[in-house]
A and B are shown apart, each in its own frame.
Chain A
Amino acid sequence: MLDLIAPLADYGFMRRALIAGLALSLAAPPLGVFLMLRGMSLIGDAMAHAILPGVALGFLMAGFSLPAMSLGGILSGLVVAGLAGGVSQMTGHREDSAMASFYLISLAAGVMLVSLGGSSVDLTHVLFGSILAVDTTALLLIAAVSTVTVLLLATMFRALVMECLDPLFLRGQGVRPGLIQGMFLGLVVINLTAGFQTLGTLMAVGLMMLPATAARFWSKRLEGLMGLAIAIAMLASTGGLLISYHLDMPSGPSIILLAGIVYLLSALFGRYNSLFARLRRRAAPLDAPRNGTSSA
């Protein structure tokens, strides 16, 4: 057991990677829960592609500078989110079609930029991340993003919940509908940008969505969903990091695959709507006491 966690004590880069992973695990999964509840699970994926050209541009202009790459990623992510929202409002098409168009353009542009300016090693790094690259600057950035996310999410929590449930109610109360949505997507973008250093642009979204979708098999309450999602993400970050060290595997895929295993197990054995729960479920007799465990 001690051997298992020894690398965390022995190596500074492992400790930094662990802290980075835990900080990301605190901030990203609650966003994933809201994305999932709003039927926007794939938007996170689209946004992850959208930050790529900005990261690439930052890389081209300043080399392997984390602040430059992150700033670029945040800007291009926000631009794509804004453009997609604008186009859908202007044309009346659904937002997902505009989003899909822009993220595909972004992905191609990003890969093109990295290929023009760097080697395939650089491209691999940007796409898939590397824990060895988590230095103090990266750690500060991730911690800052996660702090801002938690604080902002707490501030806008009630409005966000009401926007999900009944957007017209908020409009009737004079709250601008785009405001909450825009702030929320902004949080998604900065979290994906913070995650690309450890997990890569394409996999950062995994730590956001997989814990959220897995938690849905265990809780029917919003607090429960968010708490569980955070716990699952932290477990996957820590476990994935150790697995990647001991088995000499890349860290990003290890972390996300571990979260994926939790999702699959939840889908099979979870408390609500899992395969097992469906097989086992019998209708309770009418006079049985209700304890909230039955599913709709």
Chain B
Amino acid sequence: MSRLHLDGLALAQGARTVLEGLSGSFPDGAITALIGANGAGKSTLIQGIMGILPPLAGRIDCDVPKERRAWLPQQLALDLSFPMSVEELVMTGSWPTRGALRGYRPAQYRQARSVMQRLGITHLAHRPLGELSGGQRQRALLGRTLMQEAELLLLDEPFANVDSDTVNVLIQVLRDMADQGTTIIVVLHDLEHLARLADCVLMLAGGHAQWTTPHAVLERHGVTDLASQAPFVSLTFPDSSSCST
């Protein structure tokens, strides 16, 4: 089963075509890792799936309603000096049901409380975003997507600038979400996270995409037993000319 299909998709940033001829389905209830060198088009594809960037050619078929598509941007994309507390940020995830006008109900506050508890940030509820560490911010942002009850979740490098405790919490929560049927697409940069998290892999290179498995990626990098490797092995990518799908 899949609620998200790509069919001959081409995406461009301005006058530059970034991706071409992308086809395939993202499986439901699974975590798909999106990997590729810088500039390979990972963020472009995410923008396309979120409906922010219209396709140049081909189609994106997504059965998930817009308000259940959640997105966890890179932290730098947010204005974190804005005077807002963790609880307020988490509460904004109730937009799909409350919209711009309807007031928050006690049920939403209770839901936010349980979300924050799940992420271990209850004690930070009233702390301003500007005073959080990278890991605490990332938990708060994931809290917003949990609040949104997302059915499709896209994450752009969620583990960058994040402490290892937070990585463990995030991985656990993402795994739980996937088990409940959420389709998750995550941009990743290192092998350890790929091995721990991904069910399948979409590799972007040279404007084309290749579907593969975590196992194949690890094997190509000569990792058969992850435990024997130092953590945070960086991924390397094949020369763009040698890869075509």
Residues of A in contact with B (beta carbons under 8 Å apart)? 37-38, 92, 155-156, 158-159, 161-162, 164-166, 168-169, 171-175, 219-222, 225, 292, 296
Contact = CB atoms under 8 A, between A and B. Distances in A.
B83 A172 contact: no
Interface of B: 14, 50-52, 66-67, 69-71, 73, 77-79, 81-85, 89, 92, 95-96, 100-101, 126-128, 130-131, 144
A38 B83 CA distance: 11
Contact of A37 (B50, B69, B83, B144): B83
B84 A222 contact: yes
A112 to B, nearest CB: 39
Contacts of A162: 92, 95
Nearest to A156: B100
A165 B88 CA distance: 12
Nearest to A162: B92
Nearest to A159: B100
Contacts of A159: 100
30 contacts: A37-B81, A155-B101, A156-B100, A158-B92, A158-B101, A161-B82, A164-B82, A165-B84, A165-B92, A166-B73, A166-B77, A166-B78, A168-B77, A169-B71, A169-B73, A169-B92, A169-B95, A169-B144, A171-B52, A172-B51, A172-B66, A172-B70, A172-B71, A173-B96, A174-B66, A174-B67, A221-B83, A222-B84, A225-B83, A296-B128
Contacts of B130: 296
Given A166-B73, A171-B52, A172-B71, A220 B83 contact: yes
Given A92-B14, A165-B79, A165-B89, 10 more contacts: A37-B81, A155-B100, A158-B101, A169-B71, A172-B51, A172-B71, A173-B96, A221-B83, A296-B130, A296-B131
A180 to B, nearest CB: 9
A291 to B, nearest CB: 11
**Chief secondary structure at chain A's binding surface:** helix
B144 to A, nearest CB: 8
B82 A37 contact: yes
B73 A220 contact: no
Contacts of B84: 161, 165, 222
A158 B100 contact: yes
Nearest to B154: A172
Nearest to B69: A172
Contacts of A219: 83
A16 to B, nearest CB: 35
A165 B78 contact: yes
A165 B83 CA distance: 9
A165 B73 contact: no
B99 to A, nearest CB: 8
Contacts of A92: 14
B125 to A, nearest CB: 12
B126 to A, nearest CB: 7
Residue of B50, B100, B131 most packed against chain A (CB within 10 A)? B100
A225 B82 CA distance: 11
Given A158-B100, A159-B100, A168 B71 contact: yes
Contacts of B52: 168, 171-172
Nearest to A33: B83
Contacts of A155: 100-101
Contacts of B73: 166, 168-169
Nearest to A158: B100
Contacts of A37: 79, 81-83
Contacts of A172: 50-52, 66, 69-71
